[in-house]
Amino acid sequence: MESELHSIGELARASGLGVGTLRYYDGAEVLTPAWVDPQTGYRWYRPAQLADARLLVRLRRVGLPLADIRAVLSGRDAERVLDAHLRRLEDGLVDARRELSLIRTTIEQREHPMTTTLRLSVRADGLAAALDAVRFAVCEDPDQPALTGVLFEPDGPVLRLVATDRYRMALAELPAIGTPRQPAPGTTVPTALVDALRALLPTTPAEVTLTLGAGTFRAETPDHRIEGPALDLDYPDHRVLTRLAPHHRVTLPAADLRTAVETGATRTLPSGPQGADCQVTVLTLTEDGHLTVTADPTPEALHIALNRDFLLDALHAAHPEQLLLELGGPIAPLAIRTPGRTGTYSVLMPIRLPESP
């Protein structure tokens, strides 16, 4: 048999993968040998596996995650996996360019301190809707002071609002006039100032002028003006969670999902700040593509467990009629979108269900 197979050393030399690397991929069930000598433990590979090993080299070179490498080599949905990875790489390049631009701006400001501010204009009703869409996700933990506010982030023709407490994140975008063409640092507005701003906003298209920068935040409507200091803390990079590669997308009426969550079964599990117990809703995707709420999904069913209160908050936040849910699996974040509002959505972190005995 050995004369028909390649030894692990031969495969390593022919493919460019190290012997130790081949052993690792065997243990990870990515490239398993055709035969292992029970006496010596030597690994032997079929001649056809040389092509797999060389393909593996290329997949490693472009940074494909291990699970995706396994899917490509097994022939499962390779085109979708590769297309999703290419999108991640392209998005990552956009993010890198943005960060480098911000780094240059930061260096310039450090060497030549500036007191200039950025003034931009938005519609009052649009700003009100954006605040309503993100306010529920603002952190209230005093041990996370950088998150106790809403990030106002100018980005080309839009103003992006971001809020997170590490267990959920909400984003909203609205058109803005006066934003710089190049990326500009965001301003984190404290919760109290955010709530004061929301209270004075009219539900009309009236213009609101926002002034960001130099450590302050100011908002002016035709009838009111408020201002106060911004948080002098770095906001975390929210793009880490926005580059999702969901395997399933489900569109459904928002009211149906709210009713199912409100009336459906739950489990009590530790989650959230300090590991406090919470009620957990488990969303399960049926074979025909419908979402159901069940407390004990079967192991083979695609499901995700979520803090029930956090899920209801996200469903109520933007008052949508239709929802688009993006699921990646039980340990991947859940994205909740409103069709037609690309930049406005929520992301919820999953809760691991204990394994059945």
Tell me yes or no: is domain 2-76 CATH 3.30.1330.60: no
Sheet of 225-229, strand order:
118-123, 207-213, 216-220, 225-229
- Alpha-helix residue ranges (DSSP H) falling in the chain: 8-15, 19-27, 49-61, 66-74, 78-111, 124-134, 191-200, 239-242, 254-263, 308-317
Q: Do domains 116-229 and 244-348 have the same CATH topology?
A: yes
Residue carrying the six token digits 């069913």: 301
**Sequence ranges of the domains in the chain:** 2-76, 116-229, 244-348
3 compared with 269, residue with greater pLDDT: 269
Q: Worst-scoring range by mean pLDDT, 14-28, 58-72, 112-126, 208-222?
A: 112-126
Class of domain 116-229: alpha beta
- The residue-averaged pLDDT of 137-141 equals 93
This prediction has a pTM of 0.71
- What's the CA gap between 341 and 175, in Å, rounded? 12
26-77 pLDDT tens trace: 888 888 898 888 888 889 999 889 999 999 999 998 888 888 888 888 887 8
Supply the pLDDT for residue 213: 83
* Average pLDDT score, the chain: 85
Q: Worst-scoring range by mean pLDDT, 105-119, 237-251, 262-276?
A: 105-119
Superfamily of domain 244-348: DNA Polymerase III, subunit A, domain 2 (3.10.150.10)
